[in-house]
Structure 1
């Protein structure tokens, strides 16, 4: 028996694995059922998680890598399980031999068992705390700034700041120095140098400014972190949101222009420490702020050396400083600037090109004048800056400069709005017209920008800003201690809940309380000197006291726009010197008192209000120059003989106001105004008006003073008018189902520069509208489903479309020809841009003879025209055809075989983009090409004359799926 022991042990060792293999054979069906069951559960879990992913994406989040990887694994295993199940079902039906059953069943059973283990493991792994996280934001946003190259002092300071940013000891760094010394410039350079590095997860720039506003600081930080705070969000809630974000990252927070200590915890900024390795840099004019904010280290920004100052001044003032009689005086001027970069730049530009010795002597005298009474800043900032103010041409330009200080600090001021405000204030001589005043205002604006007293906004196009130091200068000039200028009371953008003490109003000539949260005004403030009162953008202001205006005998400009007042008090009628009344966007305003007594009124803006009727006495305002009645949703009727009496009117705006104008044959009915009344305004130069019914476009429209109208925009029809054109003279026709059009339309088109036609279903061709189209520069036609031909040359004059530069044709399903007939010589001679899209019956665009005259065409774009076979049909083109075309885009043209039936030479072509044009097998001859964009498959299928040609173009090909 003892001899059997090893045998039994051997059998046992063999039986254990053999038993497992036998289990594979007998457990296949049960394992397959378990696998299907577990896979069903896993699919449900995957679908639930994908639903969560979609919700996170809609909330602006991105999916975590862990979740993405899990979902991908599940999708892969689903495919494998489906394959196994299919194989199981198939083989169970077909197997009929014992040995094959055993072998195949064994193999399949092993796969099923392994797959069951994998499915269970994935199911257990699919538990996540969250599926989404914050989207990736740019680490650093580049900021425009001046270079410090060649300024050794600045470069040394930059190196010192960089050193502190990378050490382990100093967490809060204070960069301090006098105003205008270049602290912001240095930090912008630091910011830009961090682009492309991995030093921080986020670099956050915040402009704090003099008037501390914690809510605004929170908004700036939040926007950099992808948090979109609302105006009514509580500061505490914002604080918690910011803390949650910043605790998870290594950040650099740059607090620029700090005037007082900030409690970081109140904002929601965790203090930098060894764990988060974050940094805070603050710039300030006052060393005390550094102590209040417990800075670890202080970096002083020094003024420029004498040589650096001279180099900068020479750059700004140009060659005049080197003249023998002037150089020593220029050195004195530079010395008086004290090495302050802002002062040097400002004074240098003010003296640029000045070659008279007396001007330089006077500059030195001015810089050495009496010290302005402003603590700490006066001798080294205001005197140099004030030199630019003193050198302005006259008092009106100075007044325009001072006026800009009425806006809040760091405010982006719209240029056109600023100029019209200057006109309201009387700073600009309105000699002939508002248009001349606008030109004069823009000229003044450029002078102020050239003198560095205003600067173009880097945030918003066509806006300007006042540097905070320059604004401080203006406010000092207009303050009570100064005898330099008018007296201003400015409390703009401070978040005030209450208006300033009434005693402060008495001396003021201009009061600006704009952009606050004021709810109540004084009952009867005594303002004998007040000329201008601005309380715009106070959304909590709902009422004005009845006697508020009674003691304001000199008031000329009143701006109540963007408030929620419901009505105006009768005391408004006592303002007999009022020149401007601005009520724009007072969306709760339903009633305005009679205005007939305001005989001096020149500017009246009632746009976006909810008044039911025009104010009584409007016809008595014979000096009115600008009237804005746009978007008056409740005004549908204008009584007759009101508009016609506004004999001085130059600018009338009625966009979005649907007035029921009387028809021509109702001329005996005196209750409603006819559109012809507008035509009687002999001084009218700018008109913007919506006309919903063309029946009112009578014959007398032909007699309008079209040469006098320098700018007009007619919006005909009821609908949304989104104009793509910036032309001064525009006609936009939308949604009109007319076969014939009034003669008034033709009169308009004789003078218009831009024509937009949208959803005019019965319009077959443009001559149907009337008019000669000789002045038309831009033509846009959208969704005119009945149009079959744009222009038949036999139906228009020889000078039609001779000025056309831009042509857009979109969604014209019945358009068979763009142009028909023989184009006259000179037709389309100025066409520069042509876009054609979704015109499914077009087979070509031009005839060859027409293409030979399009010598100014620069950009051609043709997309989604399913029958387009060639762009140009007919005979071979001359060599100079389309001689200026340098941008060609073709997309969604399934039948396009070529640009032309013959080989065409497009020598000026620089860019080609092609997408979804499978039959386009050859490129035109274009050896000046710089870039070809298209799908790889299209490129590889192109036919070439020889290998060298293919090689030439290959170097210019960029694989791209062009999005049309």
Structure 2
């Protein structure tokens, strides 16, 4: 035992001695080898600086895309900045530690010791930062929240509205009420009321999510699903309605408290098919019934609110027993609303008596009051008196669901319009649908009908059209569409326009007819000037021939591609100026098309097409639109259309052949659209001793009147010198094989967009220099280019608003002139 004890004591003494040596050695190392301790954090700082710069670039791109940066990324960047400051302080302390003490005879070991200790701590923190700096993602998309102005814009807190508003809010709080209906006549303010309800529900925190979408008389399930998903921050991966329905249902089950508002339903709607768990509320489906049933109200509050013009639809079709009426305004409220719009002049002794009678004729309907008030604002007293006389003498047309005199109220606004405004107003009425009206279509129709006086070019026509649209919006007769490129019309006003058009102008909008053939042959007057058959799932046969000698416009949009167009259908329409057949199978084109010698606009969008050579016989044609058709070859006969001013081949993805010299023959062409379309451009001249079989880009140079161009070219090399001229006022041009065509400009409002792919050399960039000077939106794909932007244009880009660079890893700088032009815009 004694020997063991002695051995243990000896071993312990040995270890203590070694530990003491290590401790003393470490302390000496701190004092004498301070520079080696400082080296490590300096190396870490350099690695972190490079990583930080990369992360900052990712953060900058994410912020430009509107995404939110993760907290751990921001914290890491802050930590790196703090670390850099600590390393910088070490450098300062290192200089101090180099100084010697005792008049330069001895090194300052204390400062060196402290410096080494601090450097060791900094290095430990640097290692942690390096370990945390590899982020898979730096950001996440933000769920956009609607602001108060979106919900309550246009809402007036009228006393007559407060009771129904309070009743709806109480129903939302009632655990025994799951579905709520709001009804009332068109234009009474149902939408503004439920928007106020939505905002109040959010303010009172009754629901975690409130989503609202518009259904309309022709429900588009995909559109409804997309609007709901957008508000929930949900992205669909399923292309089908049924697949998206399952995704929505799953999302709804994950929400504890949600309010779904469906505005403007006209008939029974299958909510289960959309993905809104309607059936679960009433009877439940399988296990889902138990999921919804067993949760307490404070854990689960799921409600649906619907609006409709018809209480019967809510009560009988949707089985809603809690329905609330939004009624007309009181006389005092009607007066207040009218006075608010027209201003203080209404209180003068001359205007007030007339104004009181005018407001009375508006029947306390908000839409009617607003429409008349805006029509009379800033007008003289005789104009007001004349308006009152018209209302007093008129014989209002009866339109189902509208109060007496409302039709004549809208008519009055129509009569205040100028001639061109009236024509455009009627034209919009003929084409108004649930998705609104594309402004580009209105331009094609208006120019074909010579609707604008003293307008001869498409550029002037577009300017006139936009001006008239602005005027109609200001008069509350047109509304913004779902995109910046469309407009729509309020349903009441639309009903009145159709009434006016059919009775005064012999213009007819035919929908939901039982016997289409009988209507066209017997019911529509032969003196008609316009006939539109929109959005029809027609199964009836069309007449063999139609005799409408004064018809100027004929429009047929069928969802049934088996519908046959009789060969002689158009032989009795010889004055036709605008023909639009959308979604029709035209294999072949009817031979009677050649009878339309006065045709100005021909639209065959979305049609199944074969040989369209017959179109070349329409010598007066100015607008030819084949958007989204399946045409594979543009016949050479199209080159005979020497008066053509617009050719729209957008989204003709099957178009493979355009014979040589067809494009160049269209010498009066002003607008050419080939986005997401023809790509098979050939080089001018002989190829392997063979003549060209396809169009050459050089043919565009012959189009001296061209002001608008949308085109996709695979390479800069096929672009000849001086191909583009300063006459181009709007363009979307893609150059390179990396671009996916987007139907509209990425940023919405730009009219001049250029996308270019560049490889190592940019020697050919001068071929598009004239475009670069005026480009508003520029996209660059850079491969091995270091100073491309500087070499593009030495004066910068005076009109550039948006710049997007991809794969620009070797890009060294952006020139100062360019940045000034960007900041100025």
Q: How far is 1:341 from its partner?
A: 1.3
Question: Is 1:622 matched up with 2:621?
Answer: no
Aligned equivalents of 1:789, 1:247: Cα separation in 2: 50
1:708 has 2:727 as partner:
yes
2:337 corresponding residue in structure 1: 312
| 1: CA distance, partners of 2:186 / 2:805 | 56
Instruction: Determine the structure 2 residue equivalent to 1:488.
Output: 508
Higher alpha-carbon deviation: 273-282 or 176-185: 273-282
Match of 2:615 in 1: 595
Higher alpha-carbon deviation: 444-453 or 620-629: 620-629
Q: Which piece of structure 1 moves more, 324-333 or 294-303?
A: 294-303
Alignment CA distance shift 1:192-1:248 (3 Å) = closer
> For the Cα contact (< 8 Å) 2:363–2:403, is it kept in 1?
no
1:450 is the counterpart of 2:486? no
SS, match of residue 515 in structure 1: strand
Tell me how far apart the structure 2 counterparts of residues 487 and 517 of structure 1 sit (CA, whole Å): 21
Question: Bigger shift: 518-527 or 384-393?
Answer: 518-527
Matched, 1:412 2:436: yes
Counterpart residue number, 2:363: 338
Question: What is the alpha-carbon distance in structure 2 between the residues aligned to residue 571 and residue 520 of structure 1?
Answer: 20
| 1:350 and 2:375 matched | yes
Q: Does 1:321 align with 2:326?
A: no
Q: Hey, what does 2:521 align to over in structure 1?
A: 503
Q: How far apart are residue 179 of structure 1 and its match?
A: 2.6
Distance across 1 between alignment mates of 2:777 and 2:400: 58
| Residue in structure 2 matched with residue 514 of structure 1 by the alignment | 534
Aligned counterpart in structure 2 of residue 187 of structure 1, from 159, 178, 194:
194
Query: Could you say what secondary structure the match of 1:195 adopts?
Result: helix
Pairwise mapping of residues 813-832 of structure 1 onto structure 2 (< 5 A)?
813-815=809-811, 828=817, 831-832=820-821
Q: C-alpha offsets along residues 858-905 of structure 1, whole Å, 9 cap, x if unaligned?
A: 9xxxxxxxxxxxxxxxxxxxxxxxxxxxxxxxxxxxxxxxxxxxxxxx
- Superposed CA deviations along residues 890-925 of structure 1, whole A, max 9, x for unmatched, are xxxxxxxxxxxxxxxxxxxxxxxxxxxxxxxxxxxx
Alignment of 1:572 with 2:590, yes or no, is no
Q: Give the Cα–Cα distance (whole angstroms) in 2 for the partners of residues 263 and 614 of structure 1.
A: 44
- Name the stretch that deviates more: 677-686 or 595-604: 677-686
The counterpart of 1:439, out of the listed 463, 472, 476, is 463
Name the structure 2 match of 1:556: 577
In the TM superposition, what is the alpha-carbon distance from 1:421 to its structure 2 partner?
3.3
SS at match of 1:533: strand
Evaluate the alpha carbon distance shift between residue 156 and residue 503 of structure 1 in structure 2; reply closer, same or farther with a 3 A threshold.
Answer: same
Q: CA deviation at 1:452?
A: 0.9
2:678 matched residue in structure 1 = 657
User: How do 1:7-406 residues align onto structure 2 when only pairs under 5 Å count?
Assistant: 144-146=151-153, 148-167=155-174, 173-197=180-204, 199=206, 205=212, 207-210=214-217, 254=261, 256-259=263-266, 269-270=278-279, 281-286=305-310, 288-289=312-313, 292=316, 296=321, 299-354=324-379, 356-368=380-392, 369-375=394-400, 377-394=402-419, 396-406=420-430
Partner of 1:687: 709
Q: CA deviation at 1:413?
A: 2.8
| Distance in 2 separating the partners of 1:377 and 1:648 | 49
- Residues 442, 338 of structure 1: alpha-carbon distance in 2 compared, 3 angstrom cutoff: same
SS of the equivalent of 1:831 reads helix
| TM-score normalised per structure 1 | 0.59
**TM-superposed deviation, 1:672:** 6.3
CA separation in 2, counterparts of 1:476 and 1:218? 33
Q: How far apart in 2 are the matches of 1:748 and 1:139?
A: 42
Deviation for aligned residue 1:559: 2.3
Displacement of 1:375 = 4.2
Aligned position for 1:477: 500
Deviations 1:34-66 (A, max 9, x none): xxxxxxxxxxxxxxxxxxxxxxxxxxxxxxxxx
2:533–2:556 contact (8 Å) kept in structure 1: yes
The structure-2 alpha-carbon separation of the partners of 1:301 and 1:312, relative to structure 1 and needing over 3 Å to count, comes to same
Q: Does 1:782 align with 2:802?
A: no
1:92 aligned partner = none
Separation of aligned partners in 2, 1:573 and 1:690: 33
Q: Distance in 2 between matches of 1:434 and 1:363?
A: 36
Query: What runs of 5+ residues in structure 1 fail to find an aligned partner?
Result: 1-135, 755-774, 820-826, 834-855, 859-964
Q: Which has the higher contact order (CA 8 A, sep 6+)?
A: 2
Distance 1:590 1:787 in 2: 49
Structure 1 position 602, deviation (Å): 0.9
Q: 1:541 to 1:219 in 2, by over 3 A?
A: farther
- How big is the shift at 1:454? 1.1
CA RMSD of aligned residues (A): 4.6
Matched with 2:12 is none
Which stretch has the larger CA shift, 432-441 or 262-271? 262-271
Q: Tell me, yes or no, if the aligned pair for 1:556 and 1:580 is still in contact at 8 Å.
A: yes
Further displaced range: 344-353 or 551-560: 551-560
Q: Does the aligned pair in 1 maintain the 2:363–2:404 contact within 8 Å?
A: no
Answer whether contact 2:581 2:603 (CA < 8 A) is retained: yes
Instruction: Give the Cα separation in 1 of the matches to 2:695 and 2:269.
Output: 61
**CA-CA distance at 1:785 after TM superposition:** 0.7
Contact 2:623 2:645 in 1 (8 A): yes
Map 1:870-949 to 2 at 5 A: none
1:752 pairs, out of 771, 795, 820, with 771
Cα distance in 2 for residues equivalent to 1:286 and 1:800: 60
CA contact (8 A) 1:649 1:683 kept: yes
Distance in structure 2 (CA, Å) of the matches to 1:805 and 1:172: 48
1:544 equivalent to 2:565? Answer: yes
SS of 1:324's partner is coil
Q: 1:203 to 1:393 in 2, by over 3 A?
A: same
Within 2, Cα distance between the matches of 1:247 and 1:672? 57
- Counterpart in the other structure of 2:28: none
Q: Distance in 1 between matches of 2:146 and 2:634?
A: 52
The residue matched to 2:705 in structure 1 has which SS? coil
Residue 401 of structure 1 deviates from its aligned partner by: 1.5
Shift of 1:436: 0.5
Structure 1 residues 205, 781: closer, same or farther in 2, change over 3 A? closer
What runs of 5+ residues in structure 2 fail to find an aligned partner?
1-141, 284-291
Preserved contact between residue 730 and residue 752 of structure 2 (Cα < 8 Å):
yes
Query: Bigger radius of gyration, 1 or 2?
Result: 1
CA distance in 1, matches of 2:647, 2:590: 21
Q: Structure 1, residues 718-763: CA drift from partner, whole Å, max 9, x if none?
A: 442567677545554436676753xxx63541x2246xxxxxxxxx
Residues in 2 aligned to 1:329 and 1:499: alpha-carbon distance in whole angstroms: 49
Task: Output the CA distance in 1 between the equivalents of 2:240 and 2:585.
Answer: 17
Q: Distance in 2 between matches of 1:241 and 1:739?
A: 49
Which has the higher mean CA deviation after the structures are superposed, 365-374 or 548-557? 548-557
Structure ranking higher in helix proportion: 2
Contact 1:664 1:696 in 2 (8 A): no
Q: In 2, are the aligned partners of 1:206 and 1:255 still within 8 Å (CA)?
A: yes
C-alpha contact (below 8 Å) 2:656/2:679 kept by paired residues:
yes
Partner Cα distance (1:565, 1:631) in 2:
18
The equivalent of 1:129 in structure 2 is: none
1:173 and 1:281 in contact (8 A); partners too = yes
Shift in alpha-carbon separation, 1:307–1:499, aligned structure 2, 3 A: same
